[in-house]
């Protein structure tokens, strides 16, 4: 399926992920996402995938909105599948939408999830931006197992937890344009954990202000949530006033294989993508089981 074009200006929210699709932050986030989904696939029992900020789903990397900043050139554009055999499933999901070895369409998280979902699994996709919601419905919708809602995913999360089969994966990755979102996303996971303590939660974050990330980690450490890991990678060392230098994910209830794989992969990935000397990456256990 070809990615739908993006026309016009935003009506409600200014952030559009289309300008950043396939960048280094997407690469890290989606690698972790694929690892978590594949772990759930090891059992036949159905699971639910919940995406609170789903976006448009597919992004045409040759379109004006993608070439304007060309962030994918310092992300997925730098990676060669033959050099990363451990990421075969991630590249397979991407090729599924580009239909060739040349990556001209980059799938967002809901499209990646859809690629792996089985007949018995379900997806709950939330997108508040009206234009991105319409594109999401065109790009990803059309199946009963995939529910798409033009609404606030943070507010909607409570209505779908816990899943019927008590197996699920939640991805939360807002734009953080509104600074209160840092506290809101942590509160959403904390509340979700009370209802569904065995679920896997992925929280993506940008490093623009390191103090905000330090505070976010402190919140996790001081909470009752256990079994938390954190993975981070950056294009350069922390700076002030220069936008996002690094990004990362907190993972609650990660697959038991995840940290070993990331400890092996991240140095190699950072060498390929980072301009920092030495390359910046982080693998850490925030809270043990």
Domain count, the chain: 1
Q: Which two tokens stand for residue 236?
A: 């350069």
CB 152 within 8 A of CB 158: no
Q: Which residue is it, tokens 């036949």?
A: 44
pTM above threshold 0.95 = no
Give yes or no: 173 in active site: yes
Side-chain half-sphere exposure of 262, counting CA atoms within 13 A? 30
Residue 32 lies in a domain: yes
| Domain membership flag for residue 7 | no
Q: For the chain, what percent of residues have pLDDT higher than 90?
A: 76
The Cα–Cα gap between 98 and 109 comes to 15
pLDDT value, residue 3? 42
Burial 255-267 (b: 16+ CB within 10 A, else e): beebbebbeebbe
Domain of 46 in residue numbering reads as 17-287
| Residue 2 resides in a domain | no
pLDDT of residue 239: 67
- CATH number reported for the structural domain that contains residue 97 in this entry: 3.40.50.150
- Domain assignment present for 140: yes
Range list of β-strands (E), the chain: 48-51, 58-60, 105-107, 122-126, 146-149, 168-172, 200-207, 228-234, 246-252, 280-287
Residue 223: inside a domain, yes or no? yes
**Digit-coded pLDDT (tens) for 17-39:** 667 889 999 999 999 999 999 99
Residue 63 resides in a domain: yes
Can you give the pLDDT at residue 240? 66
Residue 8 in any domain: the answer is: no
- For residue 70, name the pLDDT band (cuts at 50, 70, 90): confident
Q: Which of 51, 121, 132, 173 is flagged as catalytic?
A: 173
Residue 9 maps to a domain: no
């Amino acid at each position: 399926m070809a990615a739908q074009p993006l026309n016009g200006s935003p009506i409600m929210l200014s952030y559009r992920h289309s300008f950043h699709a396939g960048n280094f932050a997407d690469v890290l986030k989606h690698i972790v996402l694929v690892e978590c989904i594949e772990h759930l696939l090891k059992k036949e029992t159905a699971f639910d995938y919940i995406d609170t900020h789903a976006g448009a789903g597919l992004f045409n990397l040759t379109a004006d909105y993608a070439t304007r900043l060309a962030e994918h050139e310092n992300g997925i554009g730098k990676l060669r599948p033959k050099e990363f055999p451990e990421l075969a499933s991630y590249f397979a999901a991407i090729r599924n939408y580009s239909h060739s070895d040349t990556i001209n369409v980059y799938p967002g998280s809901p499209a990646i999830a859809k690629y792996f979902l089985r007949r018995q699994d379900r997806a709950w996709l939330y997108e508040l931006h009206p234009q991105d919601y319409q594109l999401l419905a065109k790009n990803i919708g059309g199946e009963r197992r995939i529910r798409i809602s033009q609404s606030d995913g943070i507010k909607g999360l409570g209505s779908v937890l816990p899943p019927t089969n008590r197996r699920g994966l939640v991805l939360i990755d807002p734009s953080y344009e509104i600074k209160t979102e840092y506290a809101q996303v942590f509160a959403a996971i904390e509340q979700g954990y009370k209802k569904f303590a065995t679920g896997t939660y992925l929280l993506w974050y940008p490093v623009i202000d390191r103090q905000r990330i330090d505070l976010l980690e402190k919140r996790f450490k001081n909470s009752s949530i256990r079994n938390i890991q954190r993975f981070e990678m950056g294009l350069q060392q922390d700076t002030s006033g220069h936008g996002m230098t690094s990004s990362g994910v907190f993972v609650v209830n990660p697959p038991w294989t995840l940290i070993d794989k990331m400890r092996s992969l991240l140095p190699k990935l950072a060498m390929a993508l980072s301009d920092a000397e030495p390359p910046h990456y982080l693998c850490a256990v925030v809270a043990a089981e």
